[in-house]
Structure 1
Amino acid sequence: MFDELKKTAEAAARELIEIAKLEPGDLMVVGCSSSEIGGHKIGSDSNEEIAGAVFSGIYGVAKEKNIFLATQCCEHLNRALIVEKEAARAYGLEMVNVVPQKKAGGSFSTAAYAVFDHPVAVEELHCAKAGMDIGDTLIGMHMAKVAVPVRLSIKRIGEANLVCARVRPKFIGGERAHYDESLK
């Protein structure tokens, strides 16, 4: 089961990174409910093994593509994020002092904190170029403007809904304006 979750998460991350045209140094946010993946109500059955498998699949791809990963904590930490210190510095994010735990932050961010080279917490960010919402965790607040939905071939990880997004530049100028079609 865990191997299948890892493979599914990896495939979804690859597909999103390709569709969103992420480049090295871009930031991707992931919110993940291991409870939902396991078929339970969000926040009711946090599972470290499930979270670890899914994190491993996504992080492996992000690392391979040199994409910064931000993991969203649960509402008990006000949806703070765990990132590498290098990402916090690169994006000018203010670091805060908290260490996620299974019941305060969630198993997914706890896995990230254990694996990242230099994990730090940040209270907020608004610069993610793409995002994965696994289990209806509401990641939109962390996306840069303008977020648009991405339809992947993968719709679920385990029992959890998978909703993804990417960003595009704002369209400005009104009806007379012409746009670069490659940026849509």
Structure 2
Amino acid sequence: MFNLQEVEQQLRTILGELLAAYPMGSKQILVLGTSTSEVLGERIGTSGSEQAAEVIFRVLKEFQSQHLFQLAFQCCEHLNRGLVVERETAEMFRLEEVTVVPVAKAGGSMASYAFNHMADPVVVESIQAHAGIDIGDTFIGMHLRPVAVPVRPSIRQVGNAHVTMAYTRPKLIGGARAVYQNTKMNSSCT
């Protein structure tokens, strides 16, 4: 049985854990891929739920208002996994807008709900987000920066949907002789 209060609590738990592992602010993007069908316990793309989307959107917006990160909602494969963002986010990160309006059957219930409830939404084709949450195995990896670090949540599901999370870090380059900390700032001896 689908329990909205349980979904809300599960999402609050995993968001808290992700933000504890990787604190985000206004210069970071959190990408969210969601199958509301999977949240309900159905096969991805078969039983989208505006009710589930509303709960997920509301909780994300609450956390966003506290931490100020930017949000991106991944569309389904019918829109080539485009992303719904606020126009301000698209402008800040110089993301190229595309012309489409997500609907439940072409974009998915979550992206459609976000598009209809954001202040000034646009759809962009691609993004390089700083962190992501994948609810229902929607494959958000293409929207993360190159070096993703998995975050293992204490709970592995939201509703009935499997959850994975990651944040990103800069690449480590240079090999065995490379220095990865600023020694000028960390050195007390000269």
Pair in the same fold by TM > 0.5 = yes
* Coordinate RMSD, CA, aligned: 1.4
1:121-136 matched pairs, under 5 angstroms = 121-125=123-127, 127-136=128-137
- State the TM-score, normalized to the length of structure 1: 0.93
Q: Partners in 2 of 1:122 and 1:134 — Cα distance? A: 20
8 Å CA contact 1:6, 1:55 repeated in 2 = no
Q: Which moved more, 1:159-168 or 1:146-155?
A: 146-155
Matched, 1:11 2:19: no
Q: Partners in 1 of 2:10 and 2:70 — Cα distance? A: 20
Larger radius of gyration: 2
Q: Which amino acid aligns with 1:79?
A: R
Question: Structure 1 unaligned runs (5+)?
Answer: none
Question: Structure 2 unaligned runs (5+)?
Answer: 183-190
Count, aligned residues: 180
- State the TM-score, normalized to the length of structure 2: 0.90
Q: Partners in 1 of 2:49 and 2:114 — Cα distance? A: 14
- C-alpha offsets along residues 65-105 of structure 1, whole Å, 9 cap, x if unaligned? 11100000000111000000000000000111111111111
Q: Which amino acid aligns with 2:111?
A: S
1:38-117 matched pairs, under 5 angstroms = 38-117=40-119
Matched, 1:173 2:174: yes
Q: Which amino acid aligns with 1:22?
A: M
8 Å CA contact 2:24, 2:68 repeated in 1 = no
Tell me by how many angstroms 1:115 deviates.
1.7
Q: Partners in 1 of 2:116 and 2:87 — Cα distance? A: 14
3-state DSSP of counterpart to 1:55 = helix
Q: Which amino acid aligns with 2:131?
A: A
Q: Partners in 1 of 2:47 and 2:36 — Cα distance? A: 7
- Overall identity of the aligned pairs, in %: 43
Q: Which amino acid aligns with 1:170?
A: K
